[in-house]
Structure 1
Amino acid sequence: MSGGRMAGMKRGREGGNGGRPGSIDVDLVQRLVGGQFPRWAGLGVERFPSGGTVNDVYRLGDDMLVRLPLTEDGAADVVMERTWLPRLARQVPVAIPEVLGAGEPGEGYPWPWSVYRWLEGENPEAGAVADPVGLAEDLAGFVAAMSSIDLPGAPAAYRGGPLESLDAATRTAIEKLRGIPEESVDCDAALAVWEAASAAPAWDAPPVWLHADLMPGNLLVDRGRLASVIDFGCMGVGDPACDLFPAWNLLPAGAREVFRERLGVDDATWIRGRARTLSQALVALPYHRTGNPAMAANARHVIRAVLGPE
């Protein structure tokens, strides 16, 4: 399958703030677009299937899409993206979302929403990457470009703080998984990885710019190479280990080493990145295992990649 998107989902903020709006459907999107952007009123609207938990996505005509937050957190992300995406776009080596229209609450829908340019490509799939070394090089180039950005007033990245801020949630998730034997997670090994990382040196330099959610669902590839990075709702500054996620959630072992080498990652940062990636997977698996197959499958992949032989 090919096709682009500026999709919205993918970090799965378990819980989220605020209730969900009423029914979002094609009719609502048509009324919102027609009322606020009359020039696009005659274009076709079609729901775009997504495993997302933060936004609903609709195709608008041939070259746009509409993204509507499902939670109050997601609504805050929409506003943040309007501020920062145009400034980041000039400083990264691949396409990122371009906001074409800033929608406001209306027609019973309570939050800001946006119209984006459609981006071509497809999501890569762990275990089926066409050009793993090339993709590793591309991802390293993107991460390096992000970390070199110097824009004042940056927000703090979601999950970008000290590793200890994830400690309680990680340990709780491990105990939940002990009670789900059918998942076959080696919880003792997971705990050992987490505790080893907790003992590693913390990041003690100034925070760097991060995407902070480099999941396969937030990447678009073309013929195996990185074409676009999407969904910047977690962006901000923080520990650079937060942008090492693709090493374990997507890349095979050989390409993982290429990714690390291109970035010049020191041992302590690598250890923290591995633990952060594992933590996200451990939390996601019990939460999504029965309701979001795509996110649950990626969580299982990460757990295998981290706990398996390096």
Structure 2
Amino acid sequence: MHEDQVDLTTDAAAALILDQFPQWGDRPIRLLRSTGTDNAIFRIGDDLAARFPLRLTDPATALATLEREARAGAELAEVSPVPVPHPVALGEPGAGYPMPWSVQTWLPGTVATETDPGASVAFAEDLASFVAALRRADTRGRTFDGAGRGGVLTDHDEWIGICLTESQGLLDVPRLRDTWARLRELPRTGADAMCHGDLILGNVLVADGRLGGVLDTGGFAPADPALDLVGAWHLLDREPRRVLRAALGCDDLEWERGKAWAFQQAMGLVWYYVESNPAMSAMGRRTLDRLLEPGA
């Protein structure tokens, strides 16, 4: 998927895990097939998962990122109303793999890429409860750190320009350019709140049409409160989307800023993964279709 991707075989992963954590030596190690784009994930028995970053990074930088993600995941676990993974351990480079890696608890359930929750009002209500719980969490005086989504919309103009150029022949580029021209101007009024930051299909679990758990919690941090509204368009059809909006009490400005963050994310998914990860590309396309619906 990435030019700087580091590939890892199951044998190499097993060697790393069993060498550094021999207490798990009697557990089977198996690769998890997923649409994820950041980590290769290997099951360790039934209750643990090892996550190996895919993109080559300086080991010291990678370790700092993993330590920050572990702290964030533990903090989110304290406030989440649904199950989330808990950090367990950090591994070191070895066996030909050049970066640190992490181990966390495994959550049972069905990822939303395999069972679409988009039409479920109950799921929308659960998602709203999750987002509300995170917004109530104490920022501890922290503010958005400037990395990624969640700050100033116009900071992403260059990226959107690249996406529009790369999307020629894939999407209705003139219409999307006009959409961004409107969304990028939306003002910010509310203070930062704690956000998950990446509420997409691959990061939520579904159980009987309800929200069964949330994954990839290492991005839990202060940001524009509208950031977690990306889930409204990534995950929900029109009526459940309205239920989520009502439950969170979003005014027009906050709702439109949520749409802007979903747009910024979806624009990069379609062209970047069109060949290497078609499921992720299709998710981005569906999100954009939802965003462009009249009255979305």
SS at match of 2:40: strand
SS at match of 1:135: helix
Q: 1:191 to 1:293 in 2, by over 3 A?
A: same
Q: 2:94 aligns with which of 106, 118, 121?
A: 106
For residues 153 and 67 of structure 1, the distance between their equivalents in structure 2, rounded to whole angstroms, comes to: 30
Q: 1:176 aligns with which of 154, 166, 188?
A: 166
Q: 1:126 to 1:50 in 2, by over 3 A?
A: closer
Structure 1 residue 215 and structure 2 residue 203: aligned?
no
Task: Indicate the residue corresponding to 1:9 in structure 2.
Answer: none
Gaps of 5+ in 2: none
Q: Calculate percent identity across the aligned residue pairs.
A: 36
Q: 2:43 aligns with which of 37, 49, 59?
A: 59
SS at match of 2:70: helix
SS at match of 1:107: coil
For residues 157 and 114 of structure 2, the distance between their equivalents in structure 1, rounded to whole angstroms, comes to: 27
Task: Indicate the residue corresponding to 1:302 in structure 2.
Answer: 287
Task: Indicate the residue corresponding to 2:178 in structure 1.
Answer: 192
Q: How many residues align?
A: 289
For residues 267 and 216 of structure 1, the distance between their equivalents in structure 2, rounded to whole angstroms, comes to: 25
Task: Indicate the residue corresponding to 2:17 in structure 1.
Answer: 33
Q: 1:121 aligns with which of 109, 132, 139?
A: 109
1:146-295 equivalences under 5 Å are: 146-152=134-140, 154=142, 156=145, 158-177=148-167, 179-180=168-169, 183=170, 185-201=171-187, 203-295=188-280
Task: Indicate the residue corresponding to 2:74 in structure 1.
Answer: 86
CA contact (8 A) 1:161 1:238 kept: yes
For residues 126 and 105 of structure 1, the distance between their equivalents in structure 2, rounded to whole angstroms, comes to: 32
Q: 1:286 to 1:75 in 2, by over 3 A?
A: farther
Q: Deviations over 1:227-253 (max 9, x none)?
A: 111112433211111101121111010
Structure 1 residue 145 and structure 2 residue 133: aligned?
yes
TM-score, with normalisation over the residues of structure 1? 0.86
Structure 1 residue 43 and structure 2 residue 31: aligned?
no
For residues 42 and 189 of structure 2, the distance between their equivalents in structure 1, rounded to whole angstroms, comes to: 42
For residues 99 and 121 of structure 2, the distance between their equivalents in structure 1, rounded to whole angstroms, comes to: 41
CA contact (8 A) 1:248 1:305 kept: yes
Q: 1:134 to 1:295 in 2, by over 3 A?
A: same
Deviation at 1:96, TM superposition (A): 1.1
Deviation at 1:138, TM superposition (A): 0.7
CA RMSD, aligned part only?
2.3
1:1-12 equivalences under 5 Å are: none
User: Residue type of the partner of 1:300?
Assistant: R
Gaps of 5+ in 1: 1-11
Q: 1:198 to 1:131 in 2, by over 3 A?
A: closer
Deviation at 1:127, TM superposition (A): 9.1
Q: Deviations over 1:62-86 (max 9, x none)?
A: 2211111112376554222221222
Q: 1:96 to 1:108 in 2, by over 3 A?
A: same
User: Residue type of the partner of 1:165?
Assistant: D
User: Residue type of the partner of 1:175?
Assistant: T
Q: 1:38 to 1:128 in 2, by over 3 A?
A: closer
User: Residue type of the partner of 1:257?
Assistant: R
Q: Deviations over 1:117-145 (max 9, x none)?
A: 11011122499427611111111111111
User: Residue type of the partner of 2:81?
Assistant: P
Q: 1:153 to 1:58 in 2, by over 3 A?
A: farther
TM-score, with normalisation over the residues of structure 2? 0.90
